[in-house]
Amino acid sequence: MNVDVQAAPAAGDLSLEVPEIARVGVVGAGLMGNGIAHVCALAGMPVVLMDVRPEQLERAVTTIAHNMDRQVARGAVTAEAKAAALARITTSTEYAAFADCDLVIEAGTEKEEVKRGIYKTLTPHLKPSCMIASNTSSISITRLGASTDRPEKFIGLHFMNPVPVMKLVEIIRGIATDEPTFLAVQALALKLDKTISVAEDFPAFIVNRILVPMINEAVYALYEGVASVDGIDTGMKLGANHRMGPLELADFIGLDTCLSIMQVLYEGLSDSKYRPCPLLVKYVEAGWLGRKTGRGFYDYTQTPPRPTR
């Protein structure tokens, strides 16, 4: 069974009425949002994918279709299942499109003020029973939930990138999150064929609490001249058997996201070991955010990509 022991409901929970999640909304049609819409639609649920930018919605639908084509080519999905899944996805630039959703998953930028702005606009359009989940990778679920009109129906549902490929999802309860919401979201994650890790509501949860400080330390090693970009990544790939070196992985995640997570850790835990490396800050200030901008610790305008330092 793909759920950890923390996620199993206690005996008393069996009498609770668990809300059914039949229709899902996703706010944000970027990399994470389109991946979440992808897996929900393949699992048989109607999905409303919303973004304020029409061009982003067009790119998202194209990306979803392309990624499903790859699944068809591998034999993981039939052509009929792909067509049916795509037909379940509705796109909109209006928050009012979420009126009939049972759960809305926010997949906005990893900045607290952006997420709070989304909730302020979103909540008036939701039915009272609708739950809200944030795909945040680091920000306090308790604090985000408190900014809504339904903190008891607010929860963290952190998917890994790329969503259709990565099996793990972290579920994080805020202090006000009620048990029916937790059980409903847990059931959804299992329906999506994900493996669950339940995390307490501490900065960066499980995966990023461990992963991003490692990336930050790799940036410090580069900053201090311990080794080159290639030396650091080759060392960790061959010496620690990682599929990607930490600097290559940082480019894949997005250096702005890595910096945001380190700032959440540093501010939330008040420990100097989480201080963001000044070189990481400089790369973000330069707009060198990794693969999505064509340049980060590697220059992706060249084939193969070459280190920028």
Q: Give me the catalytic one of 67, 110, 135, 170.
A: 170
Q: Which DSSP symbol is given to 287?
A: T
Q: Which DSSP symbol is given to 292?
A: G
Tokens 């400080």 belong to 213
* 2 in catalytic set: no
Omega of the bond leading into 276 within 30 degrees of 0 (cis): no
Taking the C-alpha atoms of residue 153 and residue 168, their distance in angstroms, rounded to an integer, is 22
Taking the C-alpha atoms of residue 261 and residue 110, their distance in angstroms, rounded to an integer, is 8
Q: Which of 14, 72, 18, 63 is nearest to 37 (CA)?
A: 63
The 8 Å CB, 24+ separation contacts for 117-126 are 118/27, 119/144, 119/147, 119/148, 120/147, 121/95, 122/27, 122/95, 122/98, 123/148, 123/149, 123/150, 125/95, 125/96, 125/98, 125/99, 126/98, 126/99, 126/101
* 170 in catalytic set: yes
- Residue 158: strand pairing partners: 170
Q: Which of 124, 62, 125 is nearest to 89 (CA)?
A: 62
**Dihedral (Cα; 211, 212, 215, 220), 10-degree rounding:** -130
Distance from chain centroid for Cα 233:
24
* 216 in catalytic set: no
∠ CA 210-212-218 to the nearest 5 degrees?
110
Written as six digits, the tokens of 69 are 């084509």
Q: Give me the catalytic one of 208, 216, 248, 260.
A: 208
Q: Give me the catalytic one of 34, 158, 197, 248.
A: 158
Written as six digits, the tokens of 209 are 């609490």
Q: Give me the catalytic one of 67, 137, 138, 216.
A: 137
* 158 in catalytic set: yes
- Active site members: 137, 158, 170, 208
